[in-house]
Each structure stands twice: as structure tokens, then as C-alpha cells.
Structure 1
């Protein structure tokens, strides 16, 4: 399978410091990470897929004493995450690099987060990404993810002065895709969100808290 990321990393490289300014309120993301922190034993190992600048999620985990590993396609985002969360370990890599037989093996984790990172993939790749997450989780591991509710596939949108391609699902289909990859959904929540920038439209964000099915 070929993985076309043309322009995706470059877009986030260009956004850099502006990203957190454009998305200043991340209540759903913060709450999902807090659920993991409360549910995990001390010093658990957590993988933050699409870690961005490291704020807020990787920083939350580090401040809670968890071992945080972050992965992002954007080198600029990885550099910012290393500045913001000096105790974390961050890699510039594609989610697809972690697949079975792929070029990256980061070991096993007690929990994984994928906050708005799977939406950067074409729909055809999302089941593979979810199976990869299932594989890197230890038995009984936890998974928190978020997506924007939208019936789109690899669709180009304007985004903070640049262009990215995004995919999404309507709520029931998202649940089906996640469950088919071997996860039990423990809790679901949604938030109506208006970014602090004119060229990103309001959106509905879906958060799923999941457990790895054996």
C-alpha cells in the first residue's frame, strides 16, 4: 500500500506556533487525557499519535508522571513538542510506520491517544491505523481518540492559511470502524467547537474512550 502524504507535513510545518492559538480551547481533549491518567497505574507508558506541539496532551501525561512517547509527521511540531515537554520522547514519523512490518517499532504501550490525527488519513487507511494501535497496546490497554464528525474522505480544506486533506465519519459509522478494529467503546462524548480563526469552520468533535479487546 502506498501512503500519500503530499503536503500534509509541510502544512503543519508552516502552521507551527499558530496552531495552539487557533485552537485555544481543548476541553474534550483535556478531559479524555485526564480519564487515561486516572485509569492508568503510575509510570504507565503512553503513546500520543499526532502529538502536535505537545500541548496539552503530552504535557498532561508528563506532569502526571507517565512515560510519554509522541509521534508526529511534522518536524516543526516535533521540535515544539520537545521544547514544551522535555521529559517526553518524540519521533517524526507516520502512523503507518508503526504498522506490523513497518520501519518503526516503539514497543508496547499501556494507552494510546489519537486526537484528530486519524482524520489526516484517507478512509482506506484508517482501519489499518486502528489495527496498528491495537497491536501496540498491551492486553487491557486503553485508547482515547477524537475525530470531527463529517462524511468526507481525503477532502481538501483551508486550514490556518494553508490547505490540508481530511477524512471523517458520521457518528455511528465511526463507532462501527473502531469496534471492528478490536476495541470496546467505554464512553462517548461530543463537543461543538468554533476555532479562533476565520478560515476553519465550526465543527462537532467526537471523543471515544475505548478498551482493547483481546
Structure 2
């Protein structure tokens, strides 16, 4: 399943994240926890990779002095996000091909990069983590499996692709990127929904 098909699937179901059945608290606690690792007093940019249409994290990010940039492959998702928050800088692009124009103090990839093909995930994660400022924080979700895997699921209606590097693979790419895992949690047990908080550390901190 290619990324064009993913875009089409999410164009079809974009409004689902805005209706009453979707919890507007989804991911809020986890983002608040990740933001606590940032140093106080510095402004900068936050990137939402696979931002979707729901802007529920934006107030949290702006509360830390962060300007918001988002990328999504779904045109419909971005149109809805722009209507909800015209101040955010949004890009309609495939995150695997898109090149960050700046460094970020905070990056979120909440329930998004697991739609990237398995063979592209390592490179994408390295790109995102290399786009962090020193001390910058990256929060993302993944399938909490013991090994790499992928599958296609149609629970939401259209078919959607999912993949994960597996916990050992995720930890290995975090180390390769010169970052450190600050927190790893299964937050929806018995579902294997995993979120990880990562921070970029200086070269001196690695010695």
C-alpha cells in the first residue's frame, strides 16, 4: 500500500477526528509529559509530523512559546486543520520526501509515522530526530511489538497500512540519531499502543 493510497484513505475519513466520538483528550497527557522535558524560557518551533485535522495539541505547544508547523499527506486533513487554526504553518507533503526547513524544539508524530512503509521508517525517524535542536524533544507512537512487522487494517472503513520497527529497532534508531529515550509507555493496554519520548542530547553528554 503506497502513500497515495494512505492519503486517499484519510481524505475519506478526515472528519472522524472532529466528531463527538473522538476523545479530545487523546494524547494530551502524553504531550504535556513530553513538554516537561523542555527547558523553560526559550521559544522556537514545534513540528507536528502527520498533523491531521485535529488541532487539540496546539494550545499546549503555544503555551510553551512554540510556533506551530504541520505536515500531512491528506489534503482534506490539512484543509480542516487550517480552518481550525489559521495561524499554524501547514505543508501538504509526503513526510518521507519533505525536508525540514529549520530545527525544532519539539516534534510530535502522534499516531502518524506508523503509516509509513516499514522500509522507510528508519530513515524518516533519523531525519526527524536530526531536525531537533539540542535539548529538543520528540514524542511519537508506535506498535509496541518485540520485532518489526507490518499489516493492513480496515477497521476504520478504508484500508490503512501500519508498520513498526519493534521496540528493539526503535531504541536502536534513537541511539543512532544521538538521542536518548526519556520515557516509554504502553498507554492503552491491552492494546499494544506505545508512546516514546526522546530528547536530543549534546555530543559532550554522550562521552
What TM-score does the superposition give when structure 1 sets the normalisation length? 0.80
1:138–1:65 Cα change, 3 Å: closer
Shift of 1:65: 4.0
With over 3 angstroms needed to count, the CA separation of the structure-2 counterparts of 1:10 and 1:59, relative to structure 1, is: farther
Deviation at 1:70, TM superposition (A): 0.7
Indicate conservation of the 8 Å contact 2:121/2:165, yes or no. Answer: no
The CA deviation at 1:161 is 1.3
Quick check: 1:78–1:90 contact (8 Å CA) kept in 2? Answer: yes
**1:179 and 2:178 correspond:** no
- Partner of 2:97, secondary structure, is helix
Residue by residue, what CA displacement relative to the aligned partner does 1:20-69 show, whole Å, maximum 9, x if unpaired? 44542654x21232134442535331001011113322343235542010
Query: What's the secondary structure of 2:79's corresponding residue?
Result: helix
1:82 aligns with 2:82: yes
Query: Which runs of 5 or more residues in structure 2 are unaligned?
Result: 203-207
The 3 A distance-change label for structure 1 pair 180 and 149 is same
Other-structure match for 1:94? 94
TM-score (norm 2): 0.83
Secondary structure of 2:154's counterpart equals strand
Displacement, 1:127? 1.0
Aligned residue pairs, count = 198
Matched, 1:13 2:11: yes
Pick aligned residue for 1:106 from 101, 104, 115 = 101
Q: Which runs of 5+ in 1 are unaligned?
A: 99-103, 194-201
Separation (CA, whole Å) in 2 of partners of 1:169 and 1:20: 30
Pair 1:77–1:179, CA change in 2 (3 A): same
